[in-house]
């Protein structure tokens, strides 16, 4: 009874499936049958078999029902392994620009050291005049850059210039007549002392700049 019920269920499922699904199922079953016949006594899947099932899983959503040789999780693992190999191949180290000679590198360093005001475009142009073909990026890479004193940290900058810094901000005030006024407030960083304030309905850039001039006058 259960056998006939299974046959009836399979027949009904086949009736509602499309021709494309039936063709893919037939292809999947034929492939597995070929594996069983050609690799006795124990079937072994080759690399082409794995690629077949990875591609089939991308083309057909019902591939799991027709898979008998391995578990569906195994095919998913093949798929992930293929992605890893693809990205490893895509990220492989490619041969870049040819390495320039030691003499040319020393020449670029000497020119940049002897002419500290010359940039990479100027040195590149001088090398072209000498008949040396090299890119400007390569010149910039091997230039000698003079050491500069380290820039001061933000905390040091605030400590040194706190007396000259002004903080400003806008806030709005609604009136009894439902108007909105914009209030500009300016404070000094050193003592939080009020330097300047003003009120307007239209805080344009010109108005704000004029307030800054009045506050710093």
Measured distance CA(157)–CA(135) in Å, rounded: 39
- Residue 198: strand, helix, or coil: strand
Mean pLDDT of 102-121: 89
pTM of the predicted structure, to 2 decimals = 0.31
Same domain, residue pair 11 and 50: yes
Residue 198 has pLDDT above 90, yes or no: yes
Same domain, residue pair 10 and 77: yes
Whether residue 148 is contained in a domain is answered as no
Same domain, residue pair 44 and 79: yes
The alpha helices in the chain, defined as continuous H runs, are 2-16, 19-38, 47-59, 72-90, 102-114, 120-129, 136-142, 154-161, 205-216
39 confidence band (pLDDT: 50, 70, 90): low
Same domain, residue pair 181 and 107: no
Evaluate whether 195 touches 211 at the Cβ level (below 8 Å).
Answer: no
Across the chain, where does the E strand assignment appear?
166-174, 180-188, 194-200
Whether residue 95 is contained in a domain is answered as no
Whether residue 147 is contained in a domain is answered as no
Neighbours of 11 (CB within 10 A): 9
Same domain, residue pair 109 and 68: no
Measured distance CA(189)–CA(196) in Å, rounded: 13
Q: Provide the domain limits for residue 31.
A: 2-88
Report phi then psi at 86, rounded to 5. Answer: -65, -45
More confident residue, 189 or 104: 104
pLDDT tens per residue, range 44-70: 666 776 677 676 676 666 666 666 566
72 confidence band (pLDDT: 50, 70, 90): low
User: Domain count of the chain?
Assistant: 3
Measured distance CA(78)–CA(45) in Å, rounded: 12
What angle, 0 to 180 degrees and rounded to 10, lies between the N-to-C axes of helices 72-90 and 47-59? 100
| Predicted local distance difference test score (pLDDT) of residue 12 | 47
> Hey, what's the torsion of the CAs at 31, 35, 38, 39, to 10 degrees?
170
Neighbours of 28 (CB within 10 A): 20
Same domain, residue pair 80 and 109: no
Report phi then psi at 81, rounded to 5. Answer: -65, -40
Neighbours of 103 (CB within 10 A): 8
């Amino acid at each position: 009874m259960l056998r006939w019920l299974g046959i009836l269920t399979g027949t009904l499922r086949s009736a509602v499936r499309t021709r494309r699904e039936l063709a893919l199922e037939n292809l999947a079953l034929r492939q597995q049958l070929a594996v069983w016949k050609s690799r006795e006594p124990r079937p072994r899947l080759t690399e082409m078999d794995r690629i077949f099932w990875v591609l089939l899983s991308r083309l057909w959503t019902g591939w799991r029902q027709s898979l008998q040789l391995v578990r569906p999780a195994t095919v998913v693992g093949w798929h992930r392994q293929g992605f890893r190999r693809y990205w490893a191949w895509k990220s492989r180290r490619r041969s870049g620009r040819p390495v320039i000679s030691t003499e040319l590198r020393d020449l670029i360093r000497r020119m940049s050291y002897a002419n500290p005001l010359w940039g990479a475009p100027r040195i590149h142009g001088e090398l072209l005049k000498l008949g040396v073909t090299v890119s400007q990026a390569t010149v910039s890479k091997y230039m000698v850059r003079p050491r500069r004193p380290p820039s001061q940290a933000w905390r040091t900058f605030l400590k040194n210039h706190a007396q000259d810094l002004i903080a400003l901000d806008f806030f709005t005030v609604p009136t009894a007549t439902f108007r909105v006024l914009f209030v500009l407030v300016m404070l000094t960083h050193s003592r939080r002392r009020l330097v300047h304030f003003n009120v307007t309905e239209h805080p344009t850039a010109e108005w704000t700049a004029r307030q800054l001039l009045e506050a710093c006058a």
